[in-house]
A and B are shown apart, each in its own frame.
Chain A
Amino acid sequence: MRTSTANIASAILTYGFVGLMAFLSVFPFIWMALGATNSSIDIIKGRLAPGEALATNIANFFTLVNVPLVFWNSAKVTIFATVLTLAVSSLAGYGFEIFRSRHRERLYRAMLLTLMIPFAALMIPLFIMMGKMGLINTHIAVVLPTIGSAFIVFYFRQSTKAFPSELRDAAKVDGLKEWQIFLYIYVPVMRSTYAAAFIIVFMTAWNNYLWPLIVLQSNETKTITLVISSLASAYYPDYGVVMVGTILATLPTLAVFFFMQRQFVQGMLGSVK
C-alpha cells in the first residue's frame, strides 16, 4: 500500500515534470503555427486560436520575398558547407586518432583552444581576408570559414576511439591502401557518427546568421535567415508574414532531423554487426 502511494506520487512528479518540459519546447512551435494563420494585430493582442489570415500571410510573404531564390541560396550554402565540413573534418578526426606523432596532442589541444575564441573576434580579420581574395558577396566566402570545424574534428576523433583497430589491421593485411581503408572501411562503419555530425553541421549551416550577414551584400545572395531578420525588424513588422517565413525556414531542418534520425538508429545497429 505504502509503495503504491509512493509510486503514484513519483509518477505524478515525473509526468508533471516531463509534461512541463514538453510544453516549454512545443509551445513556441504551436504559437508559430497559430501565428501564421492570424493577422499581425491579432498576434500582438495575444490571440491563441487559429485565424483566417493564413492565405493572406502566405501571399504577402511570397510577394515580399523572392522565395525560390532565397531558398536556393540557403540550400547551396548549406549543402556545400555540410559535405565539405564532413569530408575535411572527419579525415582530420581520423588522422588525429590513428596516426601517432610527437606533436599530435599539442596540435590537437591548440586546435581545441580555437573553440574558445568567439566568432565576433575573428570576424573583422576574416572579412579583410575575404576582401583581399575578392570573395565578398559570394557564397564561397560563406562556406570557406566553416569547413575546418574544430568541434566536428573533436567529435570524429572521440568517435574514432571506438573504431576497432582490428578492422584496420585486417584491411592492411588484405592490401588496402590508407585512403581505401578510410573510404571503404571507416566511412561505412562510422555511419552513425556521420549521421549525427550531418545533423549538427546541417543545422548550424542552415541557421548561420552573423557571418553570412557580414559577408553577403546584395538581395540576390541573401539566405533565408537574413531575409527573416529583415522582415522581423521593420518598424511595424507583419508578424503573420514573419511566422510564415519562420515555418518555411524550419521545415528543411525538421525534415533532415526526422529523416536522419532513422538513419542514425540503423547506423547504430549496423555498426554492431
Chain B
Amino acid sequence: MDIFARAHLSRIAALALASASFLAVTAAEAKEITIWCWDPNFNVAIMKEAGARYTKTHPDVTFNVVDFAKTDVEQKLQTGLASGTADALPDIVLIEDYGAQKYLQSFPGAFAALSGTVDYSGFAPYKVEVMTVDGQVYGMPFDSGVTGLYYRKDYLEQAGFKPEDMQSLTWDRFIEIGQQVEAKTGKKMIGLDPNDAGLVRIIMQSAGQWYFDKEGKANITGNPALKAAVETVGKIMSANIYKPANGWSDWVGTFTSGDVASVVTGVWITGTVKAQPDQAGKWGVAPIPALSIEGATHASNLGGSSWYVLESSAEKAEAIDFLNEIYGKDIDFYQKILQDRGAVGSLLAARSGAAYEAADPFFGGEKVWQNFSDWLAKVPSVNYGIFTNEADLAVTAQLPALTQGTPVDEALKAIDAEVAGHIQ
C-alpha cells in the first residue's frame, strides 16, 4: 500500500514536471514566417538560405517557404485578397515587378508600407519605383533583370569585329554588324520569338519610357521610345538577321545550340549561357545597344520580382525585420546567392563583395558582375502600371504587320486602341 502510494506520488510529480517544461516550451514558442514563391531552384532556394541566416541570429523565428507555380501564387493571392480571408494569406509573398502595381493599387492597405524602415537609397532606383504608390514604398527589391548584350566573340571575330567594336553600339550599328556576321559566318545575329514583346520592352525602357506614363495613363501614340523600339524590332525582322523561335524553350535553343551570334536579355540568362561548357571562353558581355533618341541609355531591365509583406500578417514585425536585415544589409548573403544561384539582387552595395569582384573565365576573364552592377544603377525608372501584360499582347499582335510594311504610326494607333479598351 505504502509502496503503491509512493510510486503513485512520484508519477504525479513526473507528470507535473513534464507539463511544466511543456508549458515553458509553449511560452517561448517559435514564430513561423510563411513565404510563397515559385522556383525551387531559384527564389525558393534563396529564401531558404535567407531564412537560415536570420534564424542563426534569431533562433525564435523559423521559416516555412512554400512553392507554387508563379501563376498559381498569383491566383492564390488574388483569391485570398478578394475573399478577405486573412488567415489564408502568407506573411511574405513574391510578386513579379510587372504585376506589382496591379496588386498594390487594387488592394490598398493589403501590403505593409516599408518606407522609413528600409533604406531604399541603397537599391537600384528603378526597382524602388516599381513598388511606390503615392509616395509610399511597399516591398523589398529582390532579383534584377538588368540587361546585357551577350555575344559570341568567335563568330564576331570571323566577321571582323573585336570586343571593342561591340561597346556602346546603336541599334542601327547592331543591325549592320548582324548583316556582316551573316554574310561571313552564315549565322543569324539574334534569336527572336515573334510572339514575345520582351525585346520591345527592353529597348523602350532603355530610353526611360514605358507603355504608361508616371501617372499611369497610356503612353503609346506619343511615345518616341516605343515607336523607336517597335521600328528597331521591325528592322531586325526585315533585315532578316534573326532566327525565329517558337516559345521560350525554342528561343533558349537558338543560342545554346550555337545558331546565333548574340543574345539581348536579362542577367538571369547567364546561368543558361554558362551551362554549355563547350562554349567556354567564346562569350563576351557588352552593354545593350542604345536608341538614337533623347534620353537613350545602354541600360535596361527585363523581368525581376520583389518581396511583399502582408499587412494582415500576424508576424508582420518579424517579417519586415527579416527582410531588412538580410535583403537590406547582408552583403555576404548577396555573394552567396550570386555564386550558388546566379541571382543578381538589387542592393547596389553588394558589388563590393568577393563574388561580384571575381573575373569569370567563361567570359574570357571579364569582370561581368561588376559591369552588370554598373548598369543596374543606371536602369531608367519607369512606371510599369497596371496593364503591362495587356499592352504586351497588343504589341505582339502588331509585330507581323510591321514586317509586311504597315507604317509604325498605324501600328501604334492599333496598340493604343487595344490598351485603351482595357483601361477605359
Interchain CA distance A232-B41 in the complex, whole Å: 12
| Interface pair A230/B72, CB less than 8 Å apart | yes
| Interface pair A136/B79, CB less than 8 Å apart | no
| Interface pair B41/A123, CB less than 8 Å apart | no
| Interface pair A235/B268, CB less than 8 Å apart | yes
Contacts known (A45-B257, A131-B87, A219-B66); A236 close to B40, Cβ less than 8 A? no
Q: How far is the CB of B252 from chain A (nearest CB, A)?
A: 6
| From A214, A218, A236, A238, contact of B75 by CB (8 A) | A214
| Interface pair B68/A236, CB less than 8 Å apart | no
0/1 string, A211-248, CB within 8 A of B gives 1: 00110011100000010011111111010000000000
| Interface pair A64/B79, CB less than 8 Å apart | no
Task: Name B228-267 residues within 8 Å CB distance of A.
Answer: 249-250, 252-253, 256-257
Contacts known (A217-B88, A229-B69); A128 close to B83, Cβ less than 8 A? yes
Interchain CA distance A210-B80 in the complex, whole Å: 14
- Interface residues on chain A, size class: 20 to 34
Which residues of chain B have C-beta atoms less than 8 A from A123's C-beta?
79
Quick one: which of B34, B39, B250 has the most chain A CB within 10 A?
A: B39
Q: Does A30 contact B (CB under 8 A)?
A: no
Q: Does B64 contact A (CB under 8 A)?
A: yes
Q: Does B275 contact A (CB under 8 A)?
A: yes
Which residues of chain A have C-beta atoms less than 8 A from B90's C-beta?
217
Which residues of chain B have C-beta atoms less than 8 A from A137's C-beta?
88
Per DSSP, chain A at the interface is: helix
Task: Name B29-60 residues within 8 Å CB distance of A.
Answer: 34, 38-42
Q: Does A265 contact B (CB under 8 A)?
A: no
Interchain CA distance A123-B38 in the complex, whole Å: 22
Which residues of chain A have C-beta atoms less than 8 A from B42's C-beta?
234-235
Quick one: which of A44, A128, A136, A217 has the most chain B CB within 10 A?
A: A217
Interchain CA distance A136-B79 in the complex, whole Å: 12
Which residues of chain B have C-beta atoms less than 8 A from A127's C-beta?
79-80, 83, 85, 88
Q: Does B329 contact A (CB under 8 A)?
A: no
| Interface pair A214/B256, CB less than 8 Å apart | no
Closest to B256 in A: A41
Closest to B272 in A: A236
| Interface pair A45/B40, CB less than 8 Å apart | no
0/1 string, B321-365, CB within 8 A of A gives 1: 000000000000000000000000000000000000000000000
Task: Name A116-155 residues within 8 Å CB distance of B.
Answer: 123-124, 127-128, 131, 136-137
A residues near B (Cβ < 8 Å) are 41, 44-45, 64, 123-124, 127-128, 131, 136-137, 210, 213-214, 217-219, 226, 229-236, 238
B residues near A (Cβ < 8 Å) are 34, 38-42, 64, 66-72, 75-76, 79-80, 82-85, 87-88, 90, 249-250, 252-253, 256-257, 268, 271-272, 275
**Additional 11 contacts, C-beta under 8 A, given A136-B85, A230-B72:** A45-B253, A124-B82, A127-B79, A131-B87, A137-B88, A214-B79, A217-B90, A233-B69, A234-B40, A235-B42, A235-B268
The 4 lowest CB-CB distance pairs between A and B, nearest first, are A233-B69, A131-B85, A234-B39, A229-B69
23 contacting pairs across A/B (C-beta < 8 A) = A41-B256, A44-B252, A44-B253, A45-B253, A123-B79, A127-B79, A127-B85, A131-B85, A210-B75, A217-B66, A217-B90, A218-B34, A219-B66, A230-B38, A230-B67, A230-B69, A231-B40, A233-B71, A233-B72, A234-B38, A234-B42, A235-B39, A235-B41
